[in-house]
Amino acid sequence: MTSLSYAVSDSATMLRRNLLHARRYPAMTFSTLVMPVIILLLFNYAFGGALGAGIGDGSVKYIDYIAPGIILMSVASGGVGTAVGVSSDLTEGIVNRFRTMAISRASFLTGHVVGGVIQTMTSVVLVVAVALAMGFRPDATALEWLAAFGLLTLLTFALTWLAAGVGLIARNPESASNIPLPFQFLPFLGSAIVPPESMPGGLRWFAEYQPFTPIIETLRGLLMGTPYGNSPVLALAWCAGLGLAGYLWARSRFQRGPVVR
Amino acid sequence: MTMATMAITATGLTKSYGDKVVLDGLDLAIPQGSIFALLGPNGAGKTTTVQILSTLIPADGGRAAVAGHDVAHDGEAVREAIGVTGQFAAVDNLLTAEENLLLMADLNHLPRREGRRRAAELLRRFDLAEAAGGTALTLSGGMRRKLDLAMTLIGDPRVIFLDEPTTGLDPRSRRVMWEIIRDLVTGRGVTIFLTTQYLEEADQLADRVAVLDHGKLVAEGTPQELKRRIPGHHIRLSFADADRLASAAALFDQAATDAETLTLRIPGNGGVPALRAVLDVLDRAAVQAEELTVHSPDLDEVFLTLTGRPHSGALEKEGLR
């Protein structure tokens, strides 16, 4: 077999292993899948009355405003599972076993990342389904839906590679689950929950320029038909940049050799 | 012996972590099909040696080859040939014993059917079958170690590294591991590189033993050779009565007599020529001995002699500090 087909088959083996883990450790899987749904319910039903009143001229239903934001939050929080998974593999010594085997070096991380993307995208589908059931009414065409999912998948890949890097530098699984926390809050400080115009100066500036805002705006544009200006370009650039940085970082951390603990 | 029949060679391996010199010019030549034990206290550099030879970490200096491939330049070929069972069981805790073995079969690129066959055989051979249902987390220490070794064996490696394979196991599990390890080499040409801090383990398993201390080999040889190299070795003769004891004592200069047990202790290296010489002297003088025993010092005494420090207790604490 060529080295490329080894890389593919080893990555597939590692992916199977991670999917098996997801079934064996349902607490993590459950929280990844269900947390975003709970947040969606919470924001729409508990806070929606107050928050929704402050948006636009009242012609926009709050669920239509917030659903893309919550979808994005589920993407942002999806990486935690990958960071924890990578970190606990490192603490358990199985990674050193993998390193002494004639397998594709990249397969360990690839398996984790692809597994993470599958889990996160599953939670995205779940959030979309629940939002639709709650009255979310996007006007997107099939092509726009496809583009929206394409963008989300790209972002998920980018964030999951970053999460894999976090898992490699974390001292233990607990800290691996804490380090990505700021990322999970980033959408709050963008236009996910409320428009940035409603925020005070400094925060507003940050909200307008941080990576999640153009991504959310692109998502809203695709799903709801709102104007999105140059957001798609910025969104794609952020995704590609974060993804490349995350991939190169994780790969070089992993190549650096075993962590002597 | 030529290089072709050597499973592992190393010349002048060095490794430091910061100021701490871990390996200080290590030379090894381990023939194929043998069990080699690297013996030393905690912190002597045993695990570092295994990590270098198994391509986990690079050496700072020196060369090493495993199964004919240079570890620095041809790591992939080395990894094809080896199997490693480390000090701490590297099993996947969330998978069952069977799933762990199938994972290793897949990563060894075995055809699915062959992988299943070998996994089933190893589960049976290592008595892991009854525990195959639960995840590895529920296994006992001895079972985990056996599973770890089975995971190493499923790829049919030619050179097997066992880094302290029985550390922390109870005596019964240790015996089981020993039996398994001995069975591995019989008739299959597999080479085993074993590290241990148990002198008895090296004595029980190894064809050759090297004693590692502060990153250097301080002695190498068969367990017997090592024992012979140190004082404390003597031949003990016992006699039927005090007269015979006295006549015998007169024949040997350095002998010590023990009148109470009617024994004579003659210092000697325990080799066949020395034994024959003693028997010849007795024969010529027509003194009949009832019983002859050769007292060999155990490897604890070997270690004390070679390094000037005791092996057990005190040293282990030093290593942990």
Q: A43-73, pLDDT tens digit by residue?
A: 888 877 777 666 666 667 888 888 888 898 8
Chain A hits for B58, CB-CB cut-off 8 Å, are 257
Residue count of chain A: 261
Instruction: State residue B59 phi and psi, 5-degree precision.
Output: -80, 155
In a domain, A259, yes or no: no
HSE on the CB side for A242, CA within 13 Å? 23
A97, B86: Cβ pair inside 8 Å?
yes
Domain range enclosing A182 = 3-254
In a domain, A261, yes or no: no
The interface predicted TM-score (ipTM) is 0.83
**B79 interfaces chain A, CB cutoff of 8 Å:** yes
Which residues, listed in sequence order, are joined to residue B234 by a DSSP beta bridge? B267, B295
In a domain, A260, yes or no: no
Poorest-confidence range of A180-189, B26-35, B59-68, B159-168? A180-189
- Residue A204 vs residue B157, higher pLDDT: B157
A97, B57: Cβ pair inside 8 Å?
no
In a domain, A203, yes or no: yes
CA distance B307 to B37: 17
Chain B hits for A260, CB-CB cut-off 8 Å, are 17
Whether the pLDDT of residue B1 is over 80: the answer is no
Whether the pLDDT of residue A1 is over 80: the answer is no
> Looking at residue B299, what is its pLDDT?
66
> Looking at residue A235, what is its pLDDT?
92
Q: Please state the pTM of the whole predicted model.
A: 0.80
List residues of A whose CB lies inside 8 A of any B CB. Answer: 1, 6, 9-10, 13, 16-17, 20-21, 24-25, 92-94, 96-103, 257-258, 260
Tell me which residue of A238, A223, A240 sits closest to A186, measured CA to CA: A238
Which residues, listed in sequence order, are joined to residue B177 by a DSSP beta bridge? none
Chain B hits for A19, CB-CB cut-off 8 Å, are none
How many contacts does A have with B, using Cβ atoms within 8 A?
A: 66
User: Which pLDDT tens digit goes with each residue over A115-161?
Assistant: 999 999 999 999 999 999 998 999 889 999 999 999 999 999 999 99
In a domain, A74, yes or no: yes
Q: Is-contact B34 B191, C-beta < 8 A?
A: yes
B51, A258: Cβ pair inside 8 Å?
yes
A101, B155: Cβ pair inside 8 Å?
yes
Average pLDDT, chain A: 86
In a domain, A16, yes or no: yes
Residue of B52, B79, B92, B96 to mutate when probing chain A, most A C-beta within 10 A: B92
Count up the domains in chain A and report the number: 1
In a domain, A219, yes or no: yes
User: Which pLDDT tens digit goes with each residue over A201-229?
Assistant: 788 878 878 888 889 889 989 988 888 78
Mean pLDDT for the stretch of residues B2-19? 86
Q: Which amino acid is at A253?
A: R
- Rounded to the nearest angstrom, the minimum Cα separation between B217 and chain A is 24
Poorest-confidence range of A56-65, B127-136, B261-270? A56-65
Q: Which amino acid is at B271?
A: G
Chain B hits for A13, CB-CB cut-off 8 Å, are 103, 106-107
- Rounded to the nearest angstrom, the minimum Cα separation between B51 and chain A is 9
In a domain, A234, yes or no: yes
Residue of B nearest to A26 (CA): B94
Please report which confidence band the pLDDT of residue A189 belongs to, taking 50, 70 and 90 as the band edges.
confident
Whether the pLDDT of residue B153 is over 50: the answer is yes
- Rounded to the nearest angstrom, the minimum Cα separation between B230 and chain A is 37
CA distances from B26 to B8, B51, B104, B150, B235 (A): 12, 14, 32, 30, 35
